[in-house]
Structure 1
Amino acid sequence: MRMTKRPMMAAAAAAVIAAALSACGPAAGDAPAAGATAGDGGATTLDLLVFNALHADFYQEMATAWNARNPDRGIVLEPRVLPLQEMHNQLQMAFTAGQQIPDIVDIEVMRFPNFTIGTQVLYDLAPYAEPYLDDLVQARLDLYTHGGMLLGLPTHVGATVAFYNVPLLESAGVDWTAIETWDDFRDAGVKLHAETGAHLGSAGTSGGFTHHLLVGQHEADYTDDEGILKLTTPEVVAAFEMLQEMHATGVLGIIPGGTPDSEEGFAAIANGDFGAVIMPVWFGSRFINYMPDLAGQIAVAVPPTLPGSDVVTIGGGGTGTAVPLASEHRELAAEFVAFAKLSEQANVRVWELLGFDPVNTSVWSDEAVTHNPDNRFVQYFYNNPFDALLEMRGSVGLLASQRTHSWPEVIAVMNSEILDSILESGVPAADALERAEAALRNTLRQ
């Protein structure tokens, strides 16, 4: 599995990047976090460049753990936390000038392909990931693999799940545990809409993951591995026709704000306008932070599936942590990053501190962690989020187009043209996709 005017596409791409960044926690400010204390005066200083202060805090905690394990190879992190755009611009300029290059850097997933084109600037982390491979979700490593090299390490899986409003569904006689396929979802949605006026799912016109999930479950993609467009293949068209049909029957409703991950979207979900939200696991933190009154009412479940497909879910959002090839401490930095992103100890904290689904699946079955009654995520949800993850283990797919240079442009047009045409204007899915592909081929010079 692997149209528009240029200014509009650029604006849309910026909006998409902002939304993707939100998957990795609170936005960063300009102030750097405090440094970690190493085990002795001979510690190596590593420059860390990130766009999220919470991530900087996480790395500091991991540096402390590293130093406890490796007192003879201690490190001191010197973090810089910059706003998203500024950080990536500075990184690009540093690579161009060959100076002020950090030892470790977080790169937002939509921008990662920009640093894989042309001369290699990122260090291959594959040898350092090797000790952890048996427990990792391979699709998330594939996301940052370019030219056979693993150039970044993931922060989470971002598995797409269904968040069900249990009391709302029960009020219409709908049993969320009986929803297994998209046909089940459709039937339940028709019933819910007839009984309450609420929609079962949300359709976003400027973002969301339902359409990505449908494409992934059709074992299709928006481009090939080289970024050549594939928007008009029968499988992609079928996925968007399903989306359009569910919207036409009231099963899906267009969510205010254009995406569930917006203030307007949060308000609509909290108001009971939608019986379910299909989003990555990281959206769980949005419930806690923005919809506290729904505590105890939201069940986390495997999303509806497509019979015959090997793909149950796909990963969404993310940050790839990389080590520049030019770092004089690249071997030490790489070993630390692998520990901080892939080890079981680190992934326990990914769940406890950030609320993300750990990429190291050994954590998924550690009930001392996943069922900790003091954990705020465990306390909030109707059931345990890891129940769904364990069901989907081994069935996490990847839209490989995410790692191509075409991805930002494809998503910009998706969120500014395709979804609006299909959902708001009623343009047949095949026609909307054909028009979009023609415009994108011109933009991408294909």
Structure 2
Amino acid sequence: MKKAFLCTTVLLLILVMGLSGCGGNGNKETSPTNQPAASNNGSKATEGSETAKPAAEAQKVVFWTFVDAHQKFYESMAASWNESHPDKAIALEATTIPYDDMHTKLLVALQSGVGAPDLVDIEQSKFPNFMKGTPQLVSLNDIVEPELGNIVKSRVEIYSKDKTYYGIDYHVGATVMYYNKEMLDQAGINPDTIKTWADFETAGKQMLDKTGKPMITFEGNGNWSWWPAISQQGSDQVDENGNVTVDTPVNVKTMEFFQKMVKEGVAAVAPGAGHDTEEYFGYMDSGSAASVFMPFWFMNRFTDHIPDLKGKVIIRPMPAWKEGGNRSAGMGGTATSITNQAKNPDLIKEFLAYAKLSKEGNLQIWKQLGFDPIRTDVWSDPAMKESNKFTDYFGTDIFDTLLSVKDEIAPVHIREKSPEVFDAIRNKAMPQIFIDMKDPAKVLKEVQDSLK
């Protein structure tokens, strides 16, 4: 019986390693100059050279990720760790594996009890798959709880179950407004006077009247023009108990308002139907719309794909839905977790805390990855204003905006039903609301009913 089980396990692992993924889920963020490892017929995992061992007794730590830049970040942090902790040295063996392949391979390895890494990245929309039943991940409460006063708590809560933390994010993913200041000046609009979405609509009509161009764009097949806006208002796609909440009154009114702006010409549907398409990049680069709201990590789309707007785009808070309301929302993310197959979980916890929770680690997340770190005390550090491709493009007040909204970022709920809900919103609700211009109340009710 035991031999049969082992044979089955080996066959499963071989099968998974041979799988070829079919692409991402449309909800992933990427680091400034590196996309998640592509998955196609010729794809191969990127294996980094094992971190130089400073001592013979260095503990081997196997790390899997699906983003090459994440691998490089951890390799640099391992080298830094070894310099400052020679008595606790690690030999990091890091590998970048295509997105779908990695998550499937990890799931099989954890279910079988064989072949999992010590340390692993798990993308936010995939995380619920690893929370079913008894999680095969290590509790991180002993390193997370002492830092809760220094971090944006929601960015660890989304990777928790039954008051146990199982992952630590790279970033907050704070949603912000990206305004084309040159276009606003042409229309005589001061972005700092836009406090609410009602103010925004009024400014949008002025933009349309003065320039003939829309004030904002919405996605026709994504989650980013929906989820941040309802999260601002304390709503979500699923509640804390995992119940689907797609057609709540708040969600319906939000989509009715956004659809109205499209009908008015104040808003336009993004070319290519999404904000992460080449058509959209060219559209924005030519100054065809005055703004967009997207998470902080979208900065690298501007710097890397919309070069002509360098020095013309400013970052500001989202408008609130009412005076004093939230002006941001935390979106997207990737958690780093420790599996229950880790050889030395206590040592790996110490290293993970150093890389993801320490002040130095969070400064490096900004410097190396261009993300908004979860540790908010670094947001006011002088290093955040130092010249780099982001401050050169957007100015040096990027983190001033984040500091103004750091207490207005509500947690989102990631539950077992979430991946299915993501797909339904992206592929059915948004196209019908923004492209087919169907009644939002009816569309959201149909989606809600289909997910019960």
**Residue 96 of structure 2 corresponds to which residue in structure 1?**
81
Distance in 1 separating the partners of 2:163 and 2:22? 29
Quickly say closer, same or farther: Cα 1:131–1:119, change in 2 above 3 A. Answer: closer
Whether 1:423 and 2:434 are equivalent positions in the alignment is yes
Partner of 1:46, secondary structure, is strand
Tell me which amino acid in the other structure corresponds to 1:432: V
**Could you tell me how far 1:23 is from its partner in structure 2?**
6.1
Q: How far did residue 83 of structure 1 move?
A: 0.3
| Aligned counterparts, 1:350-429, within 5 A | 350-367=365-382, 369-372=383-386, 374-400=387-413, 403-429=414-440
Go from structure 1 to structure 2 and tell me whether the alpha carbon gap of 1:264 and 1:208 turns closer, same or farther (over 3 Å shift): farther
Give, in whole Å, the separation in 2 of the partners of 1:112 and 1:284.
Answer: 25
Residues of 2 paired with 1:382 and 1:168: CA distance? 17
Moved over 3 A (4+): 13-16, 21-25
Residue 204 of structure 1 and its aligned partner are, at CA, apart by 0.5
> How far, CA to CA, are the matches of 1:429 and 1:314 in structure 2?
22
Matches for 1:207-222 after TM superposition, within 5 Å: 207-222=222-237
Preserved contact between residue 160 and residue 315 of structure 1 (Cα < 8 Å): yes
Task: Report how far residue 182 of structure 1 moved.
Answer: 0.5
- Which residue of the other structure, out of 161, 164, 168, is the alignment partner of 1:146? 161
Could you tell me which amino acid in structure 1 is paired with residue 25 of structure 2?
A: I
Contact 1:192/1:199, CA 8 A, preserved across alignment: yes
The 1-side partners of 2:54 and 2:410 are apart by 41
Query: Partners of 1:389 and 1:301 in 2: how far apart?
Result: 8
Alignment partner for residue 315 of structure 1, among 327, 330, 340?
A: 330
Classify the secondary structure of the residue corresponding to 2:401. helix
- Rounded Cα–Cα distance in structure 1 between residues aligned with 2:189 and 2:64: 48
Give the corresponding residue for 1:6: none
2:273 partner SS:
coil
1:155 to 2:155 alignment:
no
Amino acid at match of 1:406: K
Aligned match of 1:7: none
1:90 maps to 2:105: yes
Contact persistence 2:59–2:91 (CA under 8 A): yes
Q: What SS does the aligned partner of 2:363 have?
A: helix
Residue 234 of structure 1 aligns with an amino acid whose one-letter code is P
**What amino acid is aligned across from residue 163 of structure 2 in structure 1?**
G
C-alpha displacement of 1:328: 2.1
SS of the residue 2:121 aligns to? strand
Determine if contact 2:261/2:267 at 8 Å carries over to the other structure: yes
Query: For the Cα contact (< 8 Å) 2:141–2:164, is it kept in 1?
Result: yes
User: Are the counterparts in 2 of residues 19 and 261 from structure 1 also a CA contact under 8 Å?
Assistant: no
Partner of 1:297: 312
Residue identity in the other structure for 1:415: R
Contact 2:30-2:297 at 8 Å conserved across structures: no
Cα offset, 1:35, TM superposition: 2.4
Gaps of at least 5 residues in structure 2 are 1-20, 38-43
Q: Could you tell me how far 1:349 is from its partner in structure 2?
A: 1.1
More displaced 10-residue stretch of structure 1: 358-367 or 31-40:
31-40
**Partner deviation per Cα, 1:17-51 (whole Å, 9 max, x = no partner):** 24414368422262212222243111100011111
Matches within 5 A, 1:7-46: 17-22=25-30, 25-28=34-37, 30-46=45-61
Q: How does 1:152-231 map to 2 (within 5 A)?
A: 152-231=167-246
Out of 310-319 and 15-24, give the one that drifted further: 15-24
* Aligned equivalent of 2:443, options 417, 432, 438: 432
Once the two structures are superposed, residues 70-117 of structure 1 have per-residue CA deviations (whole angstroms, 9 ceiling, x without a partner) of: 110100101121100111111111112211111000001110110010
Q: 2:9: which partner in 1? A: none
Q: Tell me the percent identity.
A: 32
Determine if the alignment matches structure 1 residue 277 to structure 2 residue 289: no
Instruction: Provide the C-alpha distance between the structure 2 equivalents of 1:16 and 1:53, rounded to a whole number of angstroms.
Output: 15
- Equivalenced residue count is 425
Q: In the TM superposition, what whole-angstrom CA distance separates every residue of 1:274-306 from its partner, at most 9, and x where no partner exists? A: 100100110111111111221111101011111
Contact 1:102 1:327 in 2 (8 A): yes
| Partners of 2:220 and 2:161 in 1: CA distance | 31
**Aligned pair partner of 2:341 in 326, 330, 333:** 326
Residues 16/169 of structure 1: CA separation in 2 closer, same or farther (3 Å cut): farther
Quote the residue 1:3 is aligned against: none
5+ residue gaps, structure 1, are 1-12, 442-446
Q: 1:444 is matched with which residue?
A: none
Name the SS of the counterpart of 2:272 in structure 1.
coil
Cα distance in 2 for partners of 1:440, 1:370 equals: 43
**SS in structure 2 opposite 1:163?**
strand
**Which residue of 2 is the match for residue 266 of structure 1?**
281
**Residues 300, 383 of structure 1: 8 Å contact kept:** no
SS of alignment partner, residue 210 of structure 1: coil
Q: Deviations over 1:140-188 (max 9, x none)?
A: 1111111211000001000000000000111111122221210111111
**CA gap 1:20/1:168 in 2 versus in 1, 3 angstroms:** same
Out of 122, 141, 148, the residue aligned to residue 126 of structure 1 is: 141
Q: CA RMSD in A?
A: 1.7
The letter for the 1-side match of 2:28 is A
Q: Which amino acid aligns with 1:144?
A: Y
Contact 2:27-2:125 within 8 A present in 1 as well:
no
Partners of 2:338 and 2:345 within 8 A in 1: yes
Task: Note the C-alpha offset of 1:130.
Answer: 3.1
Task: Assess if the C-alpha contact under 8 Å between 2:30 and 2:67 holds in 1.
Answer: no
